[in-house]
Each structure stands twice: as structure tokens, then as C-alpha cells.
């Protein structure tokens, strides 16, 4: 069998990760389907979690960290009155107390309001946080507990989707660093149920990206090669929150040489010092990110490779 040659393709794939596989497995499957030479994700989902997983290919990996700190939205299903050693359905489940009454809808609303805003959260032992260079879950699997410090997180909103006896379905909008498993436990305790664990978790949005834009692995498998390529979003879709600046030919050349350039006069005072900006040529070719200095110049922050830009130029000339 002749091995398919890996391709240097670049762009962003919004993947709807299925249940039961790791984020890395989902990434590797997508990489094989597109015969891509290089790819990386913008943050992981647990194997039991499903939903939005942006994957960056080629030059887009230079900007993959831009989504790590983005706000996220989840649909979570909580089992009230029970606890899990892992905070989800993959752990050992135990009932807290058989006599605990299920909360009312009104009680849930009142309790959930206490979690809105900046709150403290203790990271779980079953997490990838490092202690002496080793993930906490490695200690947890050996029955060890490591002392952790509570962290400040932000919960922007929580809405009740349904309440059926001891099953509570929520939509949660939160900031970076939030462990929804821990949030579920804390909500269960605050409701007087003794605790709760996640029986289902689905990420529906990251920043402005949502599941309506995402593809499943099965959908990708059934596509032609050209359709798979067309499923990729342009690299600069990751950076739409940054203001854009169009450079003339000489300024674009100098910035690609790593030199600081004068900020266009029309932008003086418009963009604050230290702000990162998207840089484009007069032909609307994305070059990368620059940063406005106190001297009102643009310094290089992160650029696309010369070989990639030459390839884009050749493609534009042939089209």
C-alpha cells in the first residue's frame, strides 16, 4: 500500500468531538483525514464530554493559544444527591443520603444565582494540573491527595434547561479555568443535596464560535478531499477580536523582515499602546500579528512563514 503524503495545509477546523474518545484521538483522526503534516488543538475536552473542539492546522497552530483564555458555554446534566470520585460518570458513584428531598425549580434558581460572577473554585485531583511536573490525576489514581489552592474563576451565567426529580440540566457560560465537574459538585452541596456529579457535558460555544459551524468526524469521513479542505476556516478567523491594519507594499515588506514600522497616521491614537493588531497587505493577505508600541510604531508579534505567504501569492495569481 502506498502511504499518502502529508500535506502542509493551514486553517482552522471546528470539530464536534464525539463521546468516549480523548481530544488527542479526535485530533489525530482529523489529521489523518486531511493528510495534514501538522496540527494542534486549542484546549481539551474530557473523553466523556462532547462538543466544540477547534483544531488548528499548519500555520494556524501559531495562533492556537488565542482561544485558550476565551469564554466557553456548556450544557451540563447533573445527578443530584450522588457523588463521584472523578466528578463525572467515569468515577465510582455513591449516594450521599437516601432521605434528601429533590429541590424545587425556585430553589434551584435562587441557589444558582449565588454562583454568578467571580467565585473561588478548588481544582479537582482528577485534572491535568501539574505538581512537581506530574499531572494531579496520576497522584489521584494512586490514591494520593495533593494540597491545592482555590482559584478565582468567572461564571457569566447559568440557566436551567430542565429539572426532573434528581436530574438538573443547565446551560453554563463561564470564563477560562472553570472545572464544570467541580461546579456541579458545589451546586449540589449548595442545594442541600449533599453533592452532585456530571452525567453529561457538551461544549456548545467558545468565544464567538459555536456548534452550528462544526463538523463531526463521521461527516468528515464521508466528504471528498476538496470538501474537507473547504471545511477549514481561514487562519485569521481566530483573531477577529483584534483590530486590523492594512499595510502598503513597503511597510508589509519591512514587517516581514522583522523591522518595526510606523503605524498608519489614520490609526494614531485609535489603538492603545500594547494592543495587538491583525496585519494585512493591500491585497488583503493576512500576514500575522503586530503590536502597537508607545512610539506609535508596529512591532512584530507573530507572523506567517514566508513559504506560506509565497504559496498564497502563487495561488492568488493563478486564480
pLDDT in tens, 188-198: 999 999 999 99
Active-site residue among 46, 88, 166, 236? 46
The fold of the 11-69+209-236 domain, in CATH, is: Pseudouridine synthase (3.30.2350)
Q: Assess whether pLDDT exceeds 70 at residue 318.
A: no
124 or 296: whose pLDDT is higher? 296
Query: Is-same-fold flag (72-206; 242-317)?
Result: no
pLDDT of the residue at 203 = 97
Going from N- to C-terminal start, the domains of the chain cover 11-69+209-236, 72-206, 242-317
* 52: confidence class by pLDDT, cuts 50, 70, 90: very high
β-pair partners for 203: 51, 74
pLDDT of the residue at 21 = 94
Q: What is the CATH number of domain 72-206?
A: 3.30.2350.10
Q: Assess whether pLDDT exceeds 90 at residue 133.
A: no
- CATH architecture of the region 242-317: Roll (2.30)
pLDDT of the residue at 1 = 39
Q: For residue 115, give the nearest of 160, 152, 73, 155 by alpha carbon.
A: 155
Query: Average pLDDT of 168-178?
Result: 96
123 or 266: whose pLDDT is higher? 123
The reported pTM is 0.89
pLDDT of the residue at 138 = 83
Instruction: Confirm whether 46 is a catalytic residue.
Output: yes
Q: Assess whether pLDDT exceeds 70 at residue 288.
A: yes
Query: Average pLDDT of 19-45?
Result: 92
266 or 179: whose pLDDT is higher? 179
Query: Average pLDDT of 162-191?
Result: 96
Amino acid at each position: 500500500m502506498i502511504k499518502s503524503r502529508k500535506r502542509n495545509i493551514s486553517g482552522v477546523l471546528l470539530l464536534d468531538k464525539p463521546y468516549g474518545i480523548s481530544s488527542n484521538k479526535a485530533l489525530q483522526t482529523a489529521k489523518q483525514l486531511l493528510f495534514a503534516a501538522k496540527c494542534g488543538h486549542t484546549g481539551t475536552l474530557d473523553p466523556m464530554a462532547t462538543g466544540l473542539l477547534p483544531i488548528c492546522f499548519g500555520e494556524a497552530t501559531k495562533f492556537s493559544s488565542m482561544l485558550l483564555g476565551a469564554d466557553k458555554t456548556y450544557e451540563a446534566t447533573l445527578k443530584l444527591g450522588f457523588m463521584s470520585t472523578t466528578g463525572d460518570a467515569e468515577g465510582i458513584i455513591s449516594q450521599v443520603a437516601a432521605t434528601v428531598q429533590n429541590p424545587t425549580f425556585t430553589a434551584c434558581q435562587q441557589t444558582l444565582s449565588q454562583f454568578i460572577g467571580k467565585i473561588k473554585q478548588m481544582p479537582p485531583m482528577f485534572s491535568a494540573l501539574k505538581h512537581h511536573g506530574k499531572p494531579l490525576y496520576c497522584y489521584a489514581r494512586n490514591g494520593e491527595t495533593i494540597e491545592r489552592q482555590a482559584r478565582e474563576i468567572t461564571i457569566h451565567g447559568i440557566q436551567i434547561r430542565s429539572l426532573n426529580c434528581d436530574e438538573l440540566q443547565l446551560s453554563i457560560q463561564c470564563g477560562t479555568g472553570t472545572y464544570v465537574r467541580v461546579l456541579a459538585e458545589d451546586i449540589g452541596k449548595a442545594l442541600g443535596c449533599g453533592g452532585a456529579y456530571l452525567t453529561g457535558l457538551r461544549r456548545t460555544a467558545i468565544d464567538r464560535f459555536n456548534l452550528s459551524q462544526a463538523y463531526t468526524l463521521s461527516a468528515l469521513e464521508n466528504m471528498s478531499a476538496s470538501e474537507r479542505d473547504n471545511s477549514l476556516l481561514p487562519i485569521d478567523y481566530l483573531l477577529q477580536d483584534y483590530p486590523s491594519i492594512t499595510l502598503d507594499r513597503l511597510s508589509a515588506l519591512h514587517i516581514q523582515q522583522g523591522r518595526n514600522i510606523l503605524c498608519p497616521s489614520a490609526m494614531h491614537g485609535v489603538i492603545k499602546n500594547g494592543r495587538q493588531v491583525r496585519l494585512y497587505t493591500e491585497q488583503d493577505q493576512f500576514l500575522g500579528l503586530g503590536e502597537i508600541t508607545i512610539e506609535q510604531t508596529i512591532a512584530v508579534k507573530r507572523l506567517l512563514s514566508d513559504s506560506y505567504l509565497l504559496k498564497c501569492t502563487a495561488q492568488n495569481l493563478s486564480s
